[in-house]
Amino acid sequence: MEEKKKIATREAYGKTLAELAATDKNLVVLDADLSKSTKTADFAAVAPERFFNVGIAEQNMIGVAAGLAACGKTPFVSSFAIFAVGRAFEQIRNSVAHPQLNVKIAATHAGITVGEDGGTHQSIEDISLMRTLPNMTVVVPADAIETEQAVKALAAYQGPAYLRLGRLATPQINDENYQFKLGETVLLRPGRDIAIFACGMMVAVALEAAELLAQESISATVINVHTIKPLDIDAVVESAGLCGAAISVEEHSIYGGLGSAIAEALAENCSVPFARVGIDDKFGQSGSPDALLRAYGLTPTVIATRAKAVIARKNAK
């Protein structure tokens, strides 16, 4: 298989913010002393008067952003996901989501592919936390191209939003003709035997799993669910119903994230055999990203095996 170009979604985030600085004068960016890692330093370089490093004070950063939004600005706030979401959850809930202020929380270094930083820094609960909040939009882009378009879409969107970004360079799955639409899934590969719903960096892995299944004459639909909330329920139900079986794949806990969102939609609208592939009620640990993905079963081989098990349940009916 041809090796695809790899770019971290956080890299695309920083470049897009810098690009928007010239055209959106209401855009302001806040960071909690991690701008080189989150790549908001790119924005600071071109619009220093609209960049605010609040220091290691994530709760305060959210409060400042809420105030700026109340004054008509469009703040993007960034830190590592474990801090931006975990440490500042109360402020996000009460100062941003409850009053529906136009704050965009763009958290980087999400998931276990933070790697050697270990379980304390690997946020695997952030999608769950954010999707439970009323008024909150949740977006998990699959590659750099989708990240660029998602940042632009969220900058134009009025309301609270959470954008989940990664540390690791990931394969580019979209081309320059790709068009991101907030709240709509993307059909990447049509199939008939099982629907694979994936988000973030796991979309590329799901496509590899579909290739493995094809070698066994199993036809898999692969769908990129970049918007976890609001979920494209109609597309989820249609794809699962056509295939008669489905699995979800995410670099996140299987509780409360993409898998839970898909399960809820199917339970209420389309009863088909279903399984969740993700992190099963465990914390992360220190290790290289590749070693951790293998340790937690987030590989094409494991996904293909789980898919075959779900298809067997369908065929046993």
CATH topology classification for 186-315: Rossmann fold (3.40.50)
The domain limits of the chain are 6-171, 186-315
Closest C-alpha to 9, from 159, 143, 150:
143
Closest C-alpha to 155, from 278, 69, 31:
69
Structure tokens given for 194: 């099982």
So what's the pLDDT on residue 272? 97
So what's the pLDDT on residue 5? 86
* Range 6-171 has CATH code 3.40.50.970: yes
So what's the pLDDT on residue 1? 44
Mean pLDDT by 10 residues, the chain (317 residues): 79 98 96 97 98 97 98 98 97 98 98 94 97 98 98 98 96 94 98 98 98 98 98 98 98 98 97 97 95 97 98 91
So what's the pLDDT on residue 317? 73
Separation CA 315–CA 131 (nearest Å): 34
State the amino acid at position 148 in one-letter form: E
3-state secondary structure of 43: helix
**Cα-Cα end-to-end distance for the chain:** 36
Separation CA 83–CA 134 (nearest Å): 21
So what's the pLDDT on residue 3? 59
So what's the pLDDT on residue 300? 98
Closest C-alpha to 32, from 54, 8, 4:
54
**Structural element, H or E, at residue 186:** strand 186-189
- Residues marked active site are found at 58
